[in-house]
Structure 1
């Protein structure tokens, strides 16, 4: 079983962009410390900068912690670990696995689950920690090392599992 860890370059890029964003926010505050003379655009940029900082930093540290704990996308006889928090989807719950292109984000491996298992999956997974959207799970290729290899091996394993269940 191969384990595909978070991409190191994506992790570093997110952490660097988060750091540069907070430096920009601090520089904006330092250049005009009197908040009474600020325009509404400066306040909007301050709020956006802080939001971007926390978003990039959160995702960057999430990937960094997952790398250090050796958590990755992988699968076994029972199912697929769909994120870096070790959330598992069982093979019998998976309806289809395919590749999708998202404009501006890139490629992703999409794992579609059966509607009949939707409630069971929602109960089992923590909604805030999983990448669940409806009844599909997206594994973005930007976030995974050797993403093309991961996709091909996962697709092959899914086909093997479907064949073994069809003959049984």
Structure 2
């Protein structure tokens, strides 16, 4: 199986975070004389959103992308993979409470949780790895192509 297309971090998300942070920063300055406590909270939110946009921009410039290859699927921006033979299922997940929280969820077999935890250098094992659609430029295409690759991988004789 050849490497599929690389799916980059969404520029739209980076711009939304940056604009929201700048807007909250302006509100912080305007609210300072009237309500200093509110101004401090707005500054914290502004700092967080601008920081998030800078973090995502740096990851995008570093070439951190979501993809899969013959080994497995990259599940985070650190380049950590879950190997094909460790995966039990891949599913689409949509939260009914909010319309923008869609994701592709990769469920490794329970016997592989500890092995994945050690390889990813985490303190606690994860039972599922969620790839949020809001992070990816073309999420529907990503999910469709990943599901096709997963079906091919499942149907290969071992």
TM-score range, shorter chain: 0.7 to 0.9
More displaced 10-residue stretch of structure 1: 150-159 or 101-110:
101-110
1:112 matched residue in structure 2: 107
Aligned Cα RMSD in Å?
A: 2.2
Indicate if the aligned counterparts of 2:87 and 2:108 stay in contact, CA closer than 8 A.
Answer: yes
1:75 matched residue in structure 2: 68
Q: Which blocks of at least 5 consecutive residues in structure 2 are unaligned? A: none
Q: Which blocks of at least 5 consecutive residues in structure 1 are unaligned? A: 33-37
Aligned residues: 153
Matched, 1:91 2:89: no
User: Partners in 2 of 1:66 and 1:98 — Cα distance?
Assistant: 26
Question: Compared with structure 1, are the counterparts of its residues 28 and 3 closer, same or farther at alpha carbon in structure 2 (3 Å cutoff)?
Answer: same
More displaced 10-residue stretch of structure 1: 55-64 or 73-82:
55-64
TM-score (norm 1): 0.80
TM-score (norm 2): 0.85
Indicate if the aligned counterparts of 1:7 and 1:144 stay in contact, CA closer than 8 A.
Answer: yes
Of the three residues 54, 59, 64, the one matched with 1:61 is 54
Report the 3-state secondary structure (helix = DSSP H, G, I; strand = E; otherwise coil) of the residue aligned with 1:162.
Answer: helix
Indicate if the aligned counterparts of 1:6 and 1:63 stay in contact, CA closer than 8 A.
Answer: yes
1:148 matched residue in structure 2: 140
User: Partners in 2 of 1:126 and 1:13 — Cα distance?
Assistant: 31
Structure showing greater radius of gyration is 1
